[in-house]
Structure 1
Amino acid sequence: MALRLLQHRSDQGVRSVIAAQGDAAHIVPGFATVRALALHAIRRGIPLVQAVEAADRGDAVDIAAEYAAGRLLAPIDHEDGAHLLMTGTGLTHLGSAEGRDRMHREAAAAEKQTDSMRMFLEGLEGGKPAPGQTGQQPEWFYKGDGSQLVGPGAPLAMPAFAQDGGEEPELAGVYIVGEDGTPYRIGLALANEFSDHVTERHNYLWLAHSKLRQAALGPELLVGPPPAHVEGASRIVRNGETIWEKPFLSGEANMSHSFANLEHHHFKYDLFRRPGDVHVHFFGTATLSFSDGVRTQEGDVFEIEAAPFTLPARNPLTRARPVPVAVRGL
């Protein structure tokens, strides 16, 4: 049964780590954060599961009740937000067979393929290399640092200048870099890689602008080998009613790239192997309400759920107030 880790903060502000397996959950004694637990496991040279088992069992916890009470945090953070980096990769998921066939037909008919189409097809061909080999590099983007990470139930805020605030249901890999510069995958989280799709659609070279937004994680961190197939649902609730809902797929069986290939092309850069840093890397999706013509509104609630996670990523949409920006010469 897969281990899930959660971060908890009591009404008195005391933080703790929760370990959950199936419907049972308990406090992990001696650790206030998942990052501290992960660093402990690295220093001892043991798997994270073994580190949890060695810590014994604290009080039992009803994680559904704690979630409803708002006492669960994002499953990873860093006391210095500048040392948590959020990044992602796109054009990584296959989508439906019909969609793939349509893309291939359009590619074959076009006199000149778009850069997006070329990258998608190159990923299909070379995104899952044999062990020990290097595969095709994916599209990559930067989302922000730890200040942009939103936890369970917290609002996802569009900037005042945003043209859109749209959900992207997916998986995110959570990593920590050891003292010797080795990156370790702590686990996977359910995620909403919130983006501005109107800005991106206007000009693909504005992709970088469209991705500089907040992002949300569900409360659970799934530890161990990544599941090959993840199937869930993404929905938008407006005034208590579901206005859009669609299943989404993830996991390597539904992707054109392997996790190992995406991880290699992120951590091959020296600046991403700084000891102690935390990385949250979004693996992409093929399911968007924007593609179905939905325009979100302030007050909409995004809900993303998928087994083996037992709790959803649920966040309302808001818009931030305008902030005057003036650059002064010195």
Structure 2
Amino acid sequence: MHLSELKAGGVIVRDGDDARLIPAIKTVYALAELAVNKGCKIADVIPDGGEPVDVAALASEGKLDVPVRHPEPARMYLCGTGLTHLGSASTRNAMHAAATEDVSDSMKMFQMGVEGGKPADGAVGAQPEWFYKGPGTEAVAPGDPLLSPGFALDGGEEPEIAGFYLIGADGTPNRIGFTLSNEFSDHVTERINYLFLAHSKLRPASFGPELLVGELPRHIEGRSRILRGGEVIFDQPFVSGEDNMSHTIANLEHHHFKYAPFRRAGDLHVHMFGTATLSFGAGVKTEDGDVFEISAPAFGAPLRNALQTQADSGLVTTRTL
């Protein structure tokens, strides 16, 4: 089952080729909240009826939003973990390894995941790399531009899977589902010094168009493409799912939600699980107007966003009160 949300308000449920606009409920957040409060699955609270719709057409027309938003954007957290996929360390190691060291910190972190990222059920595994991207204001809808700040040195895609979580009244994280994600980052800034990783991640990210409800498939095959003037300049497959990862989803979830401030009732969390495929690693330098396209059959309609660079606002000063 897949869920989508209209920018104008309204929730779409798709089972196979059949999609309908469900009556009465306007947001996936409200639908998830209802399921959490009732202690049941989302499928159990979806009303019957509703007019049929074409999800692919709505996506191509730019009418779909991020599948889940919080009514208060400051209570929506965009976070993620890196070096989680088999093969993900090679590009990062090339970026961060100095000529005088045998193994970079990136490779050490990756190896920790390989050795301890998939613990036995009930056990705590290795702690992953973690980063923060911003509040819900930085969640970009399918078809909308990804805005790169004027001071950025790069704006590059990262094709990932993201999980959406609503925190219940008792502090329990409730996973709503998974979407495609473009974890947009500044890889040139990151390459200068690994300690700039936090700066490089403070960028918007896009999600959707469809939310996969249920467990994440163990093996996911997708494609990451960049189009410039209608011509494809980058096209590579990417894989995800636990069969292709050095961590389990449960282990990554634990190390995010073990922090009490991330279990505040009513908050919405979006967690990006990492990737091993970057056009930056292939030497691509993105330009304004480039269109990022991320697709995978398990997630329905592809995620497309164009790159747009903002004007540099210059020196930011403070005012003394």
Per the normalisation by structure 2, the TM-score is 0.95
* SS in structure 2 of the partner of residue 308 of structure 1: helix
User: What's the CA shift string for 1:201-235, capped at 9, x where partnerless?
Assistant: 11010000000000001210000011101100001
Structure 2 counterpart of 1:88, from 77, 80, 105: 80
Given that 1:92 and 1:138 are in contact with CA atoms closer than 8 Å, whether structure 2 keeps it comes out as yes
* Alignment of structure 1 residues 206-285 onto 2, 5 Å: 206-285=196-275
Match for residue 320 of structure 2? 329
Amino acid at match of 2:190: E
CA RMSD, Structure 1 to Structure 2 (Å): 1.8
Match for residue 76 of structure 1? 68
C-alpha displacement at 1:79, in angstroms? Answer: 1.5
Match for residue 153 of structure 1? 143
C-alpha displacement at 1:112, in angstroms? Answer: 4.7
Match for residue 30 of structure 1? 24
C-alpha displacement at 1:133, in angstroms? Answer: 0.3
Please list every run of at least 4 consecutive aligned residues from structure 1 whose deviation after the TM superposition is greater than 3 angstroms: none
User: What's the CA shift string for 1:91-136, capped at 9, x where partnerless?
Assistant: 000039x969xx8xxx9xx965321111100100100111100000
Given that 2:164 and 2:271 are in contact with CA atoms closer than 8 Å, whether structure 1 keeps it comes out as yes
Match for residue 114 of structure 1? 104
Distance 2:55 2:130 in 1: 34
Amino acid at match of 2:72: D
Structure 2 counterpart of 1:4, from 2, 5, 8: 2
* SS in structure 2 of the partner of residue 90 of structure 1: coil
Amino acid at match of 1:326: T
C-alpha displacement at 1:169, in angstroms? Answer: 0.3
Given that 1:218 and 1:314 are in contact with CA atoms closer than 8 Å, whether structure 2 keeps it comes out as no
User: What's the CA shift string for 1:258-301, capped at 9, x where partnerless?
Assistant: 00000000000000001111111100000000001000000100
C-alpha displacement at 1:329, in angstroms? Answer: 2.0
Distance 1:23 1:187 in 2: 19
Distance 2:156 2:204 in 1: 11
* SS in structure 2 of the partner of residue 201 of structure 1: helix
Given that 2:5 and 2:68 are in contact with CA atoms closer than 8 Å, whether structure 1 keeps it comes out as yes
Identity of aligned residues (%): 57
Distance 2:312 2:107 in 1: 36
Structure 1 counterpart of 2:39, from 45, 49, 54: 45
Distance 1:23 1:295 in 2: 38
Given that 1:217 and 1:313 are in contact with CA atoms closer than 8 Å, whether structure 2 keeps it comes out as yes
Structure 1 counterpart of 2:288, from 285, 298, 307: 298
Distance 1:50 1:150 in 2: 29
Point out where structure 2 has 5 or more consecutive residues left out of the alignment: none
* SS in structure 2 of the partner of residue 72 of structure 1: coil
Amino acid at match of 1:163: L
Point out where structure 1 has 5 or more consecutive residues left out of the alignment: none
C-alpha displacement at 1:74, in angstroms? Answer: 0.8
Amino acid at match of 2:137: S
Given that 2:165 and 2:175 are in contact with CA atoms closer than 8 Å, whether structure 1 keeps it comes out as yes
